[in-house]
Amino acid sequence: MKIKYLTIILLFLSMNLFAQDFLGIISYNTALPTGKTSDYISDYSWKGFSFEGRSFTNRNWTFGGMFGWNIFDTKITDLIQIDDETTGTTIKGTQLRYTNSFPMMLNGHYHFGKRKSSVRPFMGLGMGTYYIVQRFEIGIFQREVSNWHFGLAPEAGVLVALSRSTSLIFSVKYNYAFSSGKTVYGDTDNTQSYVGINLGLAFFGY
Amino acid sequence: MNTYFKKKNKTWQKYLPILFLFTLMISITSCYTDYGLTTADYDVVVTNYDKTTDYDTLKTFTVVDSVLHIKGDEEDLITRQFDNLIISTVRTNMRDLGYTEIPNPTEQDKPKVVIMIHALGSQVDQYYYGGYYPGWGWGWGWGGYYPGYVGKSTYYVGTIFIDYIDVDASEKDPNDNLVIPWYATINGLLNAGGTESRVTNSINQAFDQSPYLEIK
């Protein structure tokens, strides 16, 4: 629990420490699930957004924080088969599966080119927590688990200037949440990961 | 005056893209998508089998000619309107799997398998709490805070249990327990329409997903 509050406090502090040369970003996020996230829900996610703040410490480097929300969901009717040595169980029903991921991260980015360049590629790394809620529904039955994960998020993207103070931002971010707690099925390996593909607007404040 | 309004408008326009994006995000985002499920989507069929049983040796069967309604002292929530349908659907499936029916078993002409069917109705009360906002789909739940209870809905659920009893194994069981190498549990909403087809489809599904029962 402490890590949750610490991250939130640091996130806001990081946004306010450097009042000058600030970059505020609001993004529409889509995501391709990978690994165990994909094992549970393989459908591409078209639902998500994030808010981010970056402060320039010099011409190229920024430090800041972000908060996001990605939603994965699917409806499937596949059979569920559970086997042990002597018995086998088969379950048929409409399954609704959901994963809600809330990344809260501190991050650093290196922006190539000059401050006034119209196109500025960047690379960065986020570090912080993911609050991930998994929910499984079949018939009238449902089960939900939620866990806080430590996570890393390397990112690459580009800023394309639309005006002096506004840019279009496109980025690809690999979200990796280290295992924490159990999955909705009770599996102890609860590593979650997905590739976020994000499009948004960035606003410069000087 | 005109200049003032022009300036004001310009400032406002500057934030329009943010407002647009923010509105878009909120409108597309809710925790749990409503997939517009039909009543049949809530039906669940569970089958379980013992892998050590040789089903090929159990070639004859009898279905107990009534459905036992489990109700204790409570009111029976399940109508008997579908009892015959349930029994006949089970019999049809057993015959289709290659079993021979013994309709009137005697001590000399005993079936290898007896099918017993039970039905149970339950009332489910679901309570709603504050903290859920349509559109957001997520409450202000920091620190586990929950605003108070705001409502309740009640629905009824029916469950059909189909037990496949191995007669010889049950007679030999040292503890006089029934030996049930296969069973099916079918669960669905009651009083929700389409019951006849839902019952038939679910029983058929229970046998369809149990190919090991087939007599070869």
Domain identity same for B25 and B86: no
pLDDT at B209 over 60: yes
CA–CA dist A195, A33 (Å, integer): 6
Q: Which of B36, B74, B75, B38 is nearest to B189 (CA)?
A: B38
Q: What local confidence, expressed as pLDDT, does residue B32 receive?
A: 78
Same domain? For B26 and B89 the reply is no
Judged by average pLDDT, the poorest of A82-86, B6-10, B76-80, B149-153 is B6-10
Query: What residue ranges in chain B does DSSP mark as E strands?
Result: 44-50, 60-63, 68-70, 100-101, 113-129, 149-166, 182-189
- Interchain proximity B28–A46, CB inside 8 Å: yes
- Amino acid letter, residue A103: P
For the segment B132-155, the average pLDDT, to the nearest whole number, is: 51
pLDDT given for residue B78 in this prediction: 87
B65 and B2 inside one domain: no
pLDDT of residue B131: 46
Q: What is the mean pLDDT of residues B19-44?
A: 76
**Interatomic CA distance for residues B125 and A58, integer angstroms:** 60
pLDDT per residue over B88-123, tens digit each? Answer: 999 999 999 999 999 999 988 999 999 999 999 988
> Smallest Cβ distance to B124: which of A46, A69, A140?
A140
Of A46, A85, A93, the CB nearest to B43: A93
A89 three-state secondary structure: strand
Residues of B in contact with A88 (CB under 8 A): 48-49, 51
Angstrom distance (rounded) from CA B167 to CA B178: 8
Are both B98 and B6 inside the same structural domain? no
Instruction: Give strand pairing partners of A146.
Output: A133
Q: Identify the residue whose tokens are 């892998």.
A: B51
CA-based nearest residue in chain B for residue A136: B32
Are residue B62 and residue B156 in the same domain, yes or no?
yes
Closest CA to B43 of A39, A155, A158, A94: A94
Tokens of A174: 């690999």
- pLDDT computed for residue B146 by the predictor: 47
- For chain A, the structural domain boundaries read 2-205
Q: Which residues of chain A have pLDDT under 70?
A: 1-20, 206
Adjacent-strand bridge partners of B49: A88, B182
pLDDT at residue B132, as a whole number: 43
The vertex-A189 CA angle with A187 and A192, nearest 5°, equals 110
Using CB atoms and an 8 Å cut-off, which of residues 117-136 of chain A contact chain B? 133, 135
Q: Kindly report the CATH number that applies to the domain delimited by A2-205.
A: 2.40.160.20
The answer on B93 and B20 residing in a single domain is no
Q: What are phi and psi of A29, to 5 degrees?
A: -115, 130
Residue A69, strand partner residues = A49
pLDDT digits (tens, 9 = 90+) for B54-89: 999 999 999 999 999 998 777 888 889 999 999 999
Contact A92 B35 (CB under 8 A): no
Cα separation, B154 vs B45, whole angstroms: 22
Q: A27 or B28: which carries more pLDDT confidence?
A: A27
Overall pTM > 0.90: no
More confident residue, B159 or B27: B159
**Is A79 in the B-facing interface, judged by CB distances under 8 Å?**
yes
Is B104 in the same domain as B1? no
Q: Which domain holds residue B138?
A: 34-213
Chains A–B, number of C-beta pairs less than 8 Å apart: 88
Q: Which of B31, B42, B45 sits opposite A92 (nearest CB)?
A: B45
Total domains, chain B: 2
Do B16 and B66 lie in a common domain?
no
Cβ atoms of residues B188 and B197 within 8 Å:
no
Q: Do B143 and B202 belong to one domain?
A: yes
Residue B13 has pLDDT above 90, yes or no: no
B22 & B97 share domain? no
What integer best gives the mean pLDDT of chain B?
Answer: 82
Shared-domain flag, residues B131 and B63: yes
- CA triple A120-A125-A130, angle to 5 deg: 130
Do B92 and B178 reside in the same domain of the chain?
Answer: yes
Q: What pLDDT does residue A18 have?
A: 43
